[in-house]
């Protein structure tokens, strides 16, 4: 699956996208913590900091670590405060 970073998460990750294997959102978070240590400050024990949001395939926003992920999924990670 693919992870795409936007806004502050992109700044912290230092890259715009990443290909990873993960069966759940929780697994993905663990992988990101290792592969993109700059994201550490944006993560909590339960998931992302409230200032960060995750969206699956442009449809639903997800936060439950048990959320299943499939091959070919596209997870967008962005700043939660979308406004200006």
Partner 1 sequence: MPFGHHGNYLRIDVSSGRAERVPLSDTVLRQYLGGSGLGARLLLDEGGATADPLSPEAPIIFAFSPLVGSPLTTSAKFAVVSKSPLTERFNDSLASSGFAIAGKRTGSDAILIVGRAADWSVLVIDDGDVRLEPVDDVLGDPCQVAEEKLRARLGADYRIASIGPAGERAVRYATISHDGRHAGRGGSGAVLGSKRIKAIAVRGTKYCEWAHPRELTELSRDLSKRSFGPATAKYRELGTATNLLTFNRFGTLPTRNFQTGTFDEAPSISPEQLRVEHARTRASCVACTIGCEHIYSLGNGTVRLEYESLFALGSLCGVSDGTAVLRASQRCDELGIDTISTGGSIAFAMECVERGWLDEPWLTFGSGAAVFKAIELIGQREGVGAILAEGSRRAAQIIGQGSIAFAPQVKGLEIPGYEPRALQTMALGFAVGARGADHNRSGAYDVDFSDKVDRRNATLDSVRHAIDTEDRAALMDSLILCKFLRGVFTDFQVETAGMLHAVTGWDVTAAELRDTARRIISAKRQVNLLAGWTRDEDTLPERFLDAPLPNDPAATLTRERLHELVAEYHRQRGW
**What are the tokens at 2?**
């693919």
Residue 53 interacting with partner 1 (CB under 8 A): yes
Residue 36 interacting with partner 1 (CB under 8 A): no
What are the strands, taking DSSP E only, across the chain? 2-5, 17-19, 52-56, 60-62, 74-79
- Please, what is the minimum distance in Å from the beta carbon of residue 8 to partner 1? 5
Task: List the alpha helices (DSSP H) in 1-49.
Answer: 8-13, 25-35
Check if the beta carbon of residue 79 is closer than 8 Å to that of residue 13. Answer: no
**What are the tokens at 31?**
């992988």
Residue 52 interacting with partner 1 (CB under 8 A): yes
Residue 14 interacting with partner 1 (CB under 8 A): no
- Please, what is the minimum distance in Å from the beta carbon of residue 23 to partner 1? 20
**Binding-site ranges for partner 1 (CB under 8 A):** 4, 6-8, 11, 41-42, 49-53, 55, 58, 60-63, 76, 78-84
């Amino acid at each position: 699956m693919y992870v795409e970073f936007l806004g502050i998460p992109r700044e912290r990750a230092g890259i715009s996208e990443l290909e990873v294997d993960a069966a759940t959102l929780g697994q993905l978070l663990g992988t990101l913590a290792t592969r993109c240590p700059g994201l550490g400050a944006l993560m909590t024990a339960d998931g992302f900091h409230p200032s960060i949001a995750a969206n699956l395939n442009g449809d639903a926003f997800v936060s439950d670590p048990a959320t299943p992920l499939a091959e070919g999924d596209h997870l967008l990670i962005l700043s939660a405060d979308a406004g200006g």
